[in-house]
Amino acid sequence: MAHTPTHNQTKHWQAIDAAHHIHPFTDTVALNKEGVRVITRAEGVYLWDSEGKKIIDGMSGLWCVQVGYGNKELADAGCEALRVLPYYNHFFKTTNPYTAELADKLSKLLPEGHTRVLFANSGSEANDSALKLIRYYWNLKKKPQKKIHLSRDYAYHGVTMAAASLSGLTPMHPQWDLPLAGFQKVPAPYWFGAKAAGYGDMGPDEFGVLIAKKLEEKILEIGPERVASFSAEPVQGAGGLIFPPASYWPEVNRICRKYDVLLHADEVITGFGRTGQWFGCQTYGIEADVITMAKGLSSGYQPISAISLGKRMGDVIANANEELVHGYTYSGHPVACAVALKNLEVIEREKLVARVKNGIGPYLHRRLHETFDDHPIVGEVRGVGLLAAIELVPDRKKRAFFPLDPGAVGTHCRNYCFNSGLVSRAIRDTMVLAPPFVISESEVEEIISKLKAAIDNTARDYGKM
Ligand code: PXG
């Protein structure tokens, strides 16, 4: 829809949405009182709402629109596949060129040994599938007692029964009587929060080793013979952009090998260039047995996800000599695969991963540091690739959080951002950015100036400026 809708159309969409559409992670009553925002189109790094307001999207939708909105090549690839082969499945000894080509392409981009993939339709489904495959692997290896799945505090792995059980954001559990049995948590390598959590004043590297050791302690407490897997995002995203200290992942690799625990890397956010390499596993040297990916695989243009198996799991599962009793109607959907293939082609051809690593990524971080390092309510500016976080704190010299109602300050600041036409996420009191890879320097400047105004206003409202 190229034109701006009328105000009456907006009212109509708000009314039918309020009557019939229940939104994810939303208080329905509160939303309907306030009135929902209707997004009608998008181009590059901008969204437009139905009232004609232009909004810069500092979050790439939900961390996914790597190539930006309105990419015609992706649209054309999808349209062509819709005409040529709108649907067929892979259940009955069939494949199609789009799905086979995408599997081949992924095997070339993924870390070494990850030569086999399965497809699904969302990050949650991919993680659910990964856990099933982990269980299957241990059953095939005649170690059926290995059934405990470990993951971390603040982890976000999605919302299916298993993916939500794996998630360590505690508000995700009580409504659904989760986690399921067999899911246990270990601490996250959240250095900025370490002092407040009672770990004292140690440096990041010492802290990284200490937190990895907590995984070892948990494995030993349960008994290694009962632990199936450890699932982790290379960088924790929805839990507050937690970047692991450099010492953390090498220790985790070692511990998982030592106790024969499968390592599952959830690359749903970090995959496809977000950290400045194709995969977060490459940025952090993670030796994963199974990798899940979604979002950036198609830049969000189509719902598609994948699970890749490293050599160890792949060899066993692909040679099981029996039917794999798993799969979705839409696994490897031809239209989604066609769009994903084109998306990977564009990312490669336009050298967007190198742009994130050496060009626009460093530019964003330099400008964030210049603008916020000395700000009275900024405790830390941190980031990798095109992921950035700004911790809002009452006193920038102390690593302590705002007391009372955690998250209120972040939400307050987020509202200023929205009102000025900037999408940024507030996770607790951390402001988060994950813009599209095609963002220009002047668009970065627009984000920085809007964010600066929002943080200044927040500081004033809380009597800190
Ligand atoms: N793993 C990770 C690491 C994710 O970030 C999922 C799995 C689940 O993917 P699906 O496609 O099932 O949603 C995610 C999704 C937020 C936000 O507000 C983040 C996600 C989803 C919705 C909101 O930060 N991440």
CATH code, domain carrying 324: 3.40.640.10
Q: Tell whether 21 is covered by a domain.
A: no
Q: Tell whether 11 is covered by a domain.
A: no
| Nearest Cα residue to atom 23 of ligand 1 | 62
CA distance to 194, 251, 252, per residue, from 211 (Å): 10, 9, 9
For ligand 1, pick from 131, 268, 304, 423 the residue to mutate: most ligand atoms within 8 Å of CB. Answer: 268
Same domain? 304 vs 362: no
Same domain? 191 vs 285: yes
How much of the chain, in percent, has pLDDT values that exceed 90?
96
- pLDDT top residue among 36 and 405: 36
pTM for the model: 0.98
Same domain? 335 vs 234: yes
Residue that terminates a domain, selected from 349, 365, 399: 349
Which value, in Å, is the radius of gyration of the alpha carbons in the chain? 22
Residue that terminates a domain, selected from 314, 332, 349: 349
For ligand 1, pick from 169, 242, 269 the residue to mutate: most ligand atoms within 8 Å of CB. Answer: 269
- Decide if pLDDT at 3 tops 80: no
- Domain of residue 206 covers 73-349
Q: What is the mean pLDDT of residues 42-71?
A: 98
Q: Tell whether 14 is covered by a domain.
A: no
For position 69, what pLDDT does the model report?
A: 98
pLDDT, tens digit (0-9, with 9 covering 90-100), for 346-403: 999 999 999 999 999 999 999 999 999 999 999 999 999 999 999 999 988 888 899 8
pLDDT, tens digit (0-9, with 9 covering 90-100), for 242-289: 999 999 999 999 999 999 999 999 999 999 999 999 999 999 999 999
Same domain? 366 vs 416: yes
For position 2, what pLDDT does the model report?
A: 57
What domain count does the chain have? 2
Q: Tell whether 7 is covered by a domain.
A: no
Give the DSSP H or E segment for 257: helix 248-258
* Cβ count near 58 (within 10 Å): 27
Q: What tokens does 107 get?
A: 């095997």
Same domain? 365 vs 405: yes
Cα 123 to ligand 1 centroid, rounded to whole Å? 7
Closest CA to 235 of 202, 190, 198: 190
Phi, psi torsion values for 448, nearest 5 degrees = -60, -40
Same domain? 374 vs 301: no
CATH number at residue 367: 3.90.1150.10
Contact call for residues 44 and 442 (beta carbons, < 8 A): no
How much of the chain, in percent, has pLDDT values that exceed 70?
99
Cα 238 to ligand 1 centroid, rounded to whole Å? 7
Helix (H, G, I), strand (E, B) or coil at 332: coil
Question: Which DSSP category does 448 fall into?
Answer: H
Cα 119 to ligand 1 centroid, rounded to whole Å? 17
pLDDT, tens digit (0-9, with 9 covering 90-100), for 194-218: 999 999 999 999 999 999 999 999 9
Q: Tell whether 50 is covered by a domain.
A: yes
Same domain? 241 vs 311: yes
Q: What is the mean pLDDT of residues 140-157?
A: 98
Closest CA to 193 of 152, 146, 230, 134: 152
379-402 core/surface letters (b: 16 or more CB in 10 A; e: else): bbbbbbbbbbbbbbbbebeebebb
Helix (H, G, I), strand (E, B) or coil at 316: helix
Same domain? 274 vs 317: yes
SS3 content of the chain, % helix, strand, coil (to 5): 45, 15, 40
Q: Tell whether 25 is covered by a domain.
A: no
Instruction: In whole angstroms, give the CA distance from residue 388 to residue 366.
Output: 11
Cα 293 to ligand 1 centroid, rounded to whole Å? 11
Same domain? 195 vs 336: yes
Q: Tell whether 337 is covered by a domain.
A: yes
Q: Tell whether 27 is covered by a domain.
A: no
Range picked from 1-10, 133-142, 391-400 for highest mean pLDDT: 133-142
For position 399, what pLDDT does the model report?
A: 85
Alpha-carbon torsion, ordered 204, 206, 207, 212, to 10 deg = 120
Q: What tokens does 449 get?
A: 């100036």
Same domain? 337 vs 399: no
Instruction: In whole angstroms, give the CA distance from residue 269 to residue 294.
Output: 8
For position 407, what pLDDT does the model report?
A: 87
- Decide if pLDDT at 1 tops 60: no
For position 7, what pLDDT does the model report?
A: 87
Q: What is the mean pLDDT of residues 80-96?
A: 97
Residue that terminates a domain, selected from 316, 349, 382: 349
| Nearest Cα residue to atom 21 of ligand 1 | 62
| Nearest Cα residue to atom 15 of ligand 1 | 158
Same domain? 211 vs 328: yes
Same domain? 345 vs 361: no
For ligand 1, pick from 25, 59, 60, 63 the residue to mutate: most ligand atoms within 8 Å of CB. Answer: 63
Pocket of ligand 1 (CB under 6 A): 62, 122-124, 127, 156-158, 233, 237-238, 266, 268-269, 294, 425
